[in-house]
DNA sequence: AAATTAAAGGATAATTTTGTCCTTATATGG
DNA sequence: CCATATAAGGACAAAATTATCCTTTAATTT
């Protein structure tokens, strides 16, 4: 390989990747959770139409890497948030037994519950009695988030999506 | 080094670190933001007592890795959220020019603003007109978070902390 | 002016999260 | 029973985030 020092400054491209200029992601949910939510809504939509969905199909439809999606589906399956069957005509599905599963169940299965229980500043002894500077401010917001995620069943979400719009692709906004 | 295959199954310890059993962090803010918030509150507390704080001191007081804290302080300084002076008796400080800086400024300086503007499912075309399944649910919560972070000036927070308790260590809960 | 002190910044390492590939297990249809 | 399709899982790779170390720059003190 050519190990000569970069002659005309293409190191510039490394430059833009440097700390200073890198933009972080930092959403409310991890990517894994985002994929999980999209996937499980999609599965419910299929199940409401009496069909299963395979990992590949799901990954492609929700615009998530297929192999990674498969891993996440395993987690959801282990957590009993969805069912799965192997073999021909197999795939992932949801039924009555999953009717009451909520967004919170999904997020917890994938990300654990530090989002709901941990101190927002990462302090391990934060509590009502010994609150961090943001404690009381954050608690209220987090409670709202928690309630919202707890109140929304996945099935309900899927039904809403179907009612409002039949084109899955558009609703999940997977196209660019 | 001993490269023999693990004879009595201490691979178990690798095992517990495997995907399945690993617990994610996944807080509202990144670690960098958490450190930034703790650091800047600490700096304000010191400044309100007319003294500067060095990177080492700050890192140790807020229970964050010192070198990493130094990096974050650089970012805060570049973003004009704090001031810095080099040399003997130097350090980081905050003054009138920083009075109106808010928690939101801090989070944005460190994490960018995907937390505030990005779709919670990571979809790039999510909007009022073309909403993702969580859009309207999340928007309200995020707005509350945004408002809270916008309304709280760091200075105000530091004052509150000082009023409530003089022991910095305890308030920031750096012990255990 | 020189020595010293502390921030600024570069390079690199460790860890975590995200992502891929390949093998194994298992259900279904023929 | 056999072939096939698909989930489950292991091993590994890439990327992002977190963390450390060392050199350079610039104030302050002497």
In a domain, B9, yes or no: no
pLDDT band at B170; cut points 50, 70, 90: low
The pLDDT tens digits for A155-172 are 999 998 888 764 455 556
- Number of structural domains (chain A) is 1
**Looking at the domain assignment, is residue A6 inside a domain?**
no
**Is residue B128 assigned to a domain?**
yes
Q: What is the mean pLDDT of chain A?
A: 85
CATH of the domain at B71: 1.10.10.10
- CA atoms of A154 and A79, how far apart (whole Å): 14
If you average pLDDT over residues B149-157, what whole number do you get?
95
Question: Residue B37 and residue A121: Cβ atoms within 8 Å?
Answer: yes
Protein footprint of strand C, defined by Cβ closer than 7 Å to any strand atom: A 18, 20, 30-32, 35, 64-68, 70-71, 85-90; B 17, 19, 22, 24-26, 53-56, 67, 70-71, 73-74, 77-78, 84-92
Q: What is the share, in percent, of chain B residues with pLDDT greater than 90?
A: 67
* B6 part of a folded domain: no
The domain in which residue A166 lies consists of 29-172
A22 domain-assigned: no
**What pLDDT was estimated at residue A18?**
43
What CA–CA distance (Å, rounded) separates B47 from B61? 15
A24 inside domain: no
What is the rounded distance in angstroms from the CA atom of residue B86 to the CA atom of residue B77? Answer: 12
CB B112 to CB A24 under 8 A? Answer: yes
Q: Does residue A69 contact residue A110 with C-beta atoms inside 8 Å?
A: no
Q: Does A20 reside within a domain?
A: no
What is the mean predicted confidence (pLDDT) over A137-164? 93
Distance of alpha carbon A123 from alpha carbon B172, whole angstroms: 8
Residue nearest to nucleotide C15 (CA to C1'): B17
pLDDT at residue A3 is higher than 70? no
Residue A18 within any structural domain of the chain: no
Q: In which band, very low, low, confident or very high, does the pLDDT at B56 lie, cut at 50, 70 and 90?
A: very high
- What whole-number distance in Å separates Cα of residue A150 and Cα of residue A102? 6
> What pLDDT digit, counting tens, does each position of A56-87 carry?
999 999 999 999 999 999 999 999 999 999 99
Contacts of A160 in chain B (CB under 8 A): 133
Which residues fall within 8 angstroms of residue B8, CB to CB, at 6 or more apart?
Answer: none
Distances (CA, A) of A29 to A24, A37, A68, B161: 13, 10, 16, 30
How far apart CA A45 and CA A49 sit, in angstroms, is 7
Q: Residue at minimal CA–C1' distance from C22?
A: A67
| B68-104 burial: b if 16+ Cβ within 10 Å, else e | ebbebbebbeeeebbbbeeeeeebbbbeeebeebbbb
Report the DSSP beta bridge partners of residue A85.
A91
Residues from chain A that touch B37, judged by Cβ atoms under 8 A, are: 121, 133-134
Say if CB B95 and CB B83 are below 8 A apart: yes
Q: Tens digit of pLDDT for each residue in A12-36?
A: 444 444 444 577 777 899 999 999 9
Residue A164 pLDDT: 76
Residues in reach of strand D, judged by a CB distance below 7 angstroms, are A 19, 22, 24-26, 52-56, 67, 70-71, 73-74, 77-78, 84-92; B 18, 20, 30-32, 35, 64-68, 70-71, 85-90
Query: Could you read off the pLDDT of B8-42 as tens digits, one per residue?
Result: 334 444 444 444 457 777 789 999 999 999 999 99
pLDDT for the residue B27: 86
Rounded Cα gap, residues B134 and A157, in angstroms: 8
Report pLDDT digits (tens) over A74-123.
999 999 999 999 999 999 999 999 999 999 999 999 999 899 999 999 99
Per-residue pLDDT, A168: 54
Strand D nucleotides in reach of protein CB atoms, 7 A cut-off: 4-10, 16-22, 25-29
Average pLDDT rounded to a whole number, residues B95-105: 98
> What is the predicted pLDDT for the residue at B130?
84
Find chain A residues with C-beta within 8 A of B23's C-beta. 112, 114
Q: Is the pLDDT of residue A133 over 70?
A: yes
| Percent of all residues in chain B with a pLDDT value above 70, rounded to a whole number | 81
Average pLDDT over residues A42-54: 96
Average pLDDT, chain B: 85
Q: Cα A61 to the chain's mean position, in Å? A: 14
Residues of B in contact with A123 (CB under 8 A): 172-174
The shortest C-alpha distance from A126 to chain B (Å) reads 7
> What percent of the residues of chain B are helix, what percent strand, and what percent coil, each to the nearest 5?
55, 5, 40
Nearest to B115 among A26, A142, A160 (CB): A26
**Closest C-alpha among A114, A107, A43, A41 to residue A75:** A107
Closest CA to A106 of B111, B26, B127: B26
The verdict on a CB contact (< 8 Å) between B111 and A138 is no
Q: Please indicate whether, in this complex, the C-beta atoms of B26 and A114 are within 8 angstroms of each other.
A: yes
B15 CB burial (10 A radius; 0-12, 13-18, 19+): exposed
Across the interface, do B28 and A28 touch by the CB < 8 Å criterion?
A: yes
């Amino acid at each position: 390989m050519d190990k000569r020092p970069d002659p005309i400054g293409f190191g510039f491209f490394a430059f833009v990747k440097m700390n200073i200029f890198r933009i972080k992601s930092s959403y409310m949910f991890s990517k894994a959770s985002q994929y999980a939510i999209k996937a499980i809504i999609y599965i419910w939509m299929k199940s409401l139409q009496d069909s299963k969905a395979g990992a590949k199909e799901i990954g492609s439809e929700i615009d998530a890497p297929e192999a990674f999606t498969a891993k996440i589906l395993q987690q959801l399956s282990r957590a009993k948030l969805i069912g799965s069957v192997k073999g021909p005509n197999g795939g992932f599905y949801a039924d009555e037994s999953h009717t009451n599963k909520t967004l919170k169940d999904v997020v917890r299965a994938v990300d654990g519950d530090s989002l709901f229980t941990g101190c927002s500043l990462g302090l391990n002894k934060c509590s009502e009695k010994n609150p961090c500077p943001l404690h009381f401010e954050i608690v209220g917001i987090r409670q709202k988030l928690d309630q919202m995620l707890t109140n929304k069943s996945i099935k309900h979400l899927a039904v809403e999506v179907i009612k409002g719009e039949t084109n899955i692709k558009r609703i999940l906004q997977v196209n660019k």
